[in-house]
Amino acid sequence: MGFFDFFNRKKSTSDPLESIKQRWLYLSNGLIKDNFSSKINHYGARFSTHGFETWFLGLEQRLDQSLGRRLAHAALEHQEFFMKNSGVKIPSSRDPNNWTENLLDWQTRGLGVYRKIDDEDEIRLLVENPASSPICSGLLTSAWEIATAKRHRFVWSQSSQEGLVVSLNLDHKDLPNPTEQVLIWPNSDNEFVNYELTEDSWEDLRVGSPGVWSLMNERKFIIHRDLILRFEEFCLPYISTIESGRQDIEWPIADEERKLWWTSAADSMRQMHFDSGLHILISKPDDWIGIGRRHLSMNGLGAVESAESFDGHGGVKITLKNTFHPAISGGVLLACWERAHGRRGKLKCRFNSGSVDLFLSSSVDIAD
C-alpha cells in the first residue's frame, strides 16, 4: 500500500519515520519518486539544509544577483501546480491547524512546521525550523492562496528569536495556473522501485522536532525537481554573464542564458562537494558505478549506468540512466573526479536518445 493510500482510507501511520520512508521511493534509475502524488509523476532530491544553502549562495555569487525572491516565487508556483495536479486534498480554511495533509507534506519533506499568528489587517504566519526561508515562504503562501482562493503579496523576515515570519496582503492580480515543466534532456519514467537502495538510504534516519529529520546527524530535506526547474526559468530573463567561477563547462543546449545558469549551478555544486572533503578512490572505470550510487542515487540525483575510459589520464565517459538535473549531477561527479585525481577537471555533457553522457577529464592537456 502506497503513502497516498493512507489518505484515501482516512488513515495515517503514527510513526514519523515510516511516513517519510513510505512517501519517498528510490527508483532503479537513481531518482526519488514522490508516492504522495497519484496523478502525475513527481520526483525529488535529498539535500542537506546547509549544503543547499551553500549551493544557492554560490549560484548567487557566480551570477552576481540576489535570487531569493525568484526561489520563493518558484516555490509558490511549484506548490500550486503540485496541489492541483497530485491528487492530494488541498487546504480549505483560514486555519492552518486544519491543513492536516499539508502539515504532513511539510513534515515528510523536512521543511519545518508552521502556524498562524495573526489574521487581522495583515496575515502573519510563523515557520519554525524552516529548511530554507525562500522555499518555505513560497510554499506557505501558495497553500494560503489555495485555501482562501485569493492571490496575496508576501514578504518574509527571519530572526533567531521569532523564527521565519511570512506576512501576506491581499493582491487583486489574476495570475494563470502554472503549467507542467518540460525536460530538455533524455528522461524515462518507466523504472521500478529499488528496495535495497531505499533501505540503505534511510538507514540512519532520525526525526527530531516536527518537520525536522536528519541522516548521520545532518539535517536533510526534499526538494522537487519541478521547483528547481521553475527556479531556473525565473532566473533566465535576468542572466547575461557569469561574474565568477568556472566558465568552460560545455552543454548541448542552444539557449545562452540557460548555459550560463547550468554552468553556474554545476560549478557551485562542484565547489560545495569538493570542499566537503570527499574521499574518492578510482582504480578502474567501473568504480564510477559505486561512486554514482553513493553520491547521486542515494540522494535522488540519478544513477551511473556505465563508465569507460577515453584517455590515459583519468578521462572517463559516464552514462547516466537518468538525472535529477544534468548541471547538479554533473557538478557532483566533477567534484568526485577532482578529489580522485587531485587536479582541476573539466566537464562536457552530451545528450543521446535515452541517456545523458558526461565526459570528465583534466582541464589541461597532459603529455603521454
State residue 200 phi and psi, 5-degree precision.
-65, -40
Q: How many residues does the chain have?
A: 368
CA distance 246 to 266: 9
Residue 4 pLDDT > 60: no
Whole-number pLDDT of residue 148: 94
Whole-number pLDDT of residue 366: 65
Domains of the chain: 3-170 (3.30.1380), 239-362 (3.30.1380)
The confidence band for 87, taking pLDDT boundaries of 50, 70 and 90, is confident
Whole-number pLDDT of residue 173: 81
The confidence band for 174, taking pLDDT boundaries of 50, 70 and 90, is confident
CA distance 80 to 353: 32
Is residue 206 within 8 A of residue 215, CB to CB? The reply is yes
Provide the grid cell at 285: 572505470
State residue 290 phi and psi, 5-degree precision.
-70, -35
List, as one string, the DSSP characters of 181-209: P--SS-------B-HHHHHHHTTTEEE-S
Task: Note the helical H segments in the chain.
Answer: 3-8, 16-23, 49-63, 68-85, 100-109, 133-148, 195-201, 225-235, 256-275, 287-295, 326-341
The pLDDT tens digits of the residues spanning 189-216 come to: 778 999 999 999 999 999 999 999 999 9
Whole-number pLDDT of residue 161: 66
Mean pLDDT of the chain: 92
Residue type (1 letter), 108: T
DSSP H or E run through 160 = none
SS3 content of the chain, % helix, strand, coil (to 5): 40, 25, 35
CA distance 341 to 288: 13
Share of the chain above pLDDT 90, in %: 80
Residue 102 pLDDT > 90: yes
